[in-house]
Chain A
Amino acid sequence: GTRIIYDRKFLMECRNSP
């Protein structure tokens, strides 16, 4: 299957999202 990849920018944006 497809690997779920996240870059640093996306992961950091998720930190404080509601």
Chain B
Amino acid sequence: QEVPLAESPDKHPLQNRWALWFFRNDKNRMWQANLRLVTKFSTVEDFWALYDHIKPASKLSCGCDYSLFKDGIEPMWEDNQNKRGGRWLITLAKQQRHTKLDCFWLDTLLCLIGEMFDNYSDEVCGAVINIRTKGDKIAIWTREAEHQEAVTHIGRVYKEHLGLSQEVTIGYQAHADTATKSSSLTKTKFVV
């Protein structure tokens, strides 16, 4: 359901307008038909109005996703802004759905809308959370997998914002590799 959001001069503008998407897995329909745009926002206050209005990720059914992408970028590999890119992937253990998932996802969203990746924030396309029986996943998508300096900077800052310890590593996968292999075999391009 679309959430109407009023514009106001008193609100704090964001650098980018963002679009929240919702995916529900209905196997009788094509993948793209299961993807819905929820709403777009471009102020801090409208972000919170939306966030506080929708279900927390941990309460979604298995097979559902939320995606937050910059306006104009669709949350799929095929989009021109994504197709040469990749993702920093956080995989969670099953029991973490009730402890870490919502915190990690909120911190991911705040990193995006707050433009917390310094001069490399333009490389960020969006973020996706997948609710899955096998284990939930959160990822930040960037636009160019070959931009090593930008990608690794984003990974380091992201890891720091999630409060992950130095012993924990996270990996970056190019979408081109994910698209052609089963996810468990996708090669990791960078690690931080």
Of the listed residues A10, A11, A15, the one surrounded by the most CB atoms of chain B closer than 10 A to its CB is A11
Number of interface residues of B (CB under 8 A): 17
B15 engages A4 (CB within 8 Å): yes
CA distance A15 to B53 in the complex (A): 12
Please, which residue of chain B has its CB at the minimum distance from the CB of A7?
B114
Are B114 and A11 in contact, CB atoms less than 8 angstroms apart? yes
Q: Report whether B116 and A5 are in contact in the complex, using a CB–CB cutoff of 8 Å.
A: yes
Q: Which residues of A contact B115 (CB under 8 A)?
A: 3-6
Closest residue on chain B to residue A11 by CB atoms: B110
- Min CB distance A13 to B, Å, is 10
Instruction: Say which residue of A8, A12, A14 sits within 8 Å of B45 (CB atoms).
Output: A14
State whether A14 and B48 are in contact (beta carbons under 8 Å apart), knowing that A4-B13, A8-B107 are contacts in the complex: yes
List residues of chain A with CB within 8 A of the CB of B121.
Answer: 3
Q: Known contacts A3-B121, A6-B44: does B12 contact A14 (CB below 8 Å)?
A: yes
> Are B44 and A8 in contact (CB-based, < 8 A)?
no
Inter-chain CA distance A4–B122, complex, in Å, is 12
Given A8-B161, A14-B44: A3 touches B114 (CB 8 Å cut-off): no
Cβ-neighbour of B48 out of A5, A8, A10, A15 (below 8 A): A15
| Known A3-B15, A8-B110; 8 more pairs at CB < 8 Å | A3-B115, A4-B15, A6-B12, A8-B116, A8-B161, A11-B113, A14-B44, A14-B45
A interface residues, Cβ below 8 angstroms from B: 3-8, 10-12, 14-15
The 10 closest A-B pairs by CB, nearest first: A6-B114, A4-B15, A14-B44, A5-B115, A15-B48, A11-B110, A8-B110, A3-B15, A3-B115, A11-B114
